[in-house]
Amino acid sequence: MCWLFLILSILLEVSGTMCLKLSQGFTKIVPSVLLFVFYGFSLTLLSFALKKIDISVAYAIWSGLGTTLIATVGILWFREPLSAVKIISIGLIVLGVLGLRLSDGIQQ
């Protein structure tokens, strides 16, 4: 169940970050309010996940996958430019997250 909390927390964090962009510097009320709602729930679920998952692993996965997802959203939804360096960097983040997840499984 803790891994489900972590995944949901990541998705909510990405949603909050999208709202940060959509709020246009907190000039749009709905995305501005949703930003705090999504971040609040994200951190709440992250705290639930930390009951069973080491903080070093959970936070690295939370931030790494969140970064990867928001970079992908930026490219696909917000039409940000894509380059070979971005693709390689995103791939390295994914490999790092996989390595952390595998290392957590080895210890238990």
Look at residue 102 in the predicted model and tell me its pLDDT.
Answer: 83
What is the pTM for the complete model shown? 0.88
Residue 99's pLDDT band (boundaries 50, 70, 90)? confident
- Pair 41, 33: CB distance under 8 Å: no
- Measured CA angle at 41 (ends 65, 4), to 5 deg: 50
DSSP string, the chain: -HHHHHHHHHHHHHHHHHHHHHTTTTTSHHHHHHHHHHHHHHHHHHHHHTTTS-HHHHHHHHHHHHHHHHHHHHHHTS-----HHHHHHHHHHHHHHHHHHHHHHHH-
Min mean pLDDT across 7-16, 27-36, 41-50, 52-61 is at 52-61
